[in-house]
Structure 1
Amino acid sequence: MATIKILPHAAYCPEGASLEVPAGTSICEALLDNNIKIEHACDMSCACTTCHVIVREGFNSLNASEEEEDDLLDRAWGLEPQSRLSCQAIVAQTDLVVEIPKYSINHAKENH
């Protein structure tokens, strides 16, 4: 088990959270399983950037990103070197600190 500390986010997790997560779980699954309703417009199929997160601690313990994820991340709002698509980032045994960016690029939600 690993602990994921979620930093406060006004819309998804105003108080922040601390989650106990089994290894092998994606960050997105962990958030959703704990009632943190992060966007995931493509149903976690690595086809959008709505579940983009920034891993502030524990980044190197995650599985390596693949080219498809890296290409999509180039379009994410607020991209940082420790950005991942939460649907593709698999938790290991190391504790994580995760920040959900303030915005996401979700045309369906924004009515574009």
Structure 2
Amino acid sequence: MPIIKILPHPEYCPQGTEIQALPGTTICEALLDHEIEIEHACDMSCACTTCHVIVRQGLSSLNEATEEEEDLLDKAWGLEPQSRLSCQARLAKEDLTIEIPRYTINHAREHH
């Protein structure tokens, strides 16, 4: 089972942590399953950028980004070459290190 190392984020994961998830699970699903409440305003339907993450290690093990995902990522705050929408990035067998950007472009956040 791959391990996802989450780098510290002041709101979602202040100390950083490591979680395990089954291959085929999306990064977003894995985070939510472990009570890391990453934003996902479109309910994981690839229609926004609130679940944007930066994959610092293990990017090549993930499924390829679709054209639709890449088009949306162009609108994400803090876009980097290793950026993915966590609702679309499916785990394989390799461990990952991810960073959750400090900000999103979501103007109507829930649960806050």
Which interval holds the TM-score relative to the shorter structure?
over 0.9
Q: State TM-score, norm by structure 2.
A: 0.96
SS state of the match for residue 75, structure 2? coil
Kindly indicate whether residue 17 of structure 2 is the aligned counterpart of residue 52 of structure 1: no
CA drift at 1:16: 0.5
Separation of aligned partners in 2, 1:44 and 1:16: 23
Q: How does 1:1-112 map to 2 (within 5 A)?
A: 1-109=1-109
CA drift at 1:109: 2.2
- The one-letter amino acid paired with 2:4 is I
Q: Deviations over 1:70-94 (max 9, x none)?
A: 0000000000000000000000000
- The one-letter amino acid paired with 2:55 is V
CA drift at 1:15: 0.7
Q: State TM-score, norm by structure 1.
A: 0.96
CA drift at 1:107: 1.8
Structure 2 runs not aligned, ≥5 long? none
Q: Deviations over 1:17-52 (max 9, x none)?
A: 100111000000000000000000000000000000
Separation of aligned partners in 2, 1:105 and 1:39: 11
> What's the Cα RMSD here?
1.0
CA drift at 1:108: 1.4
Q: % of aligned pairs identical?
A: 70
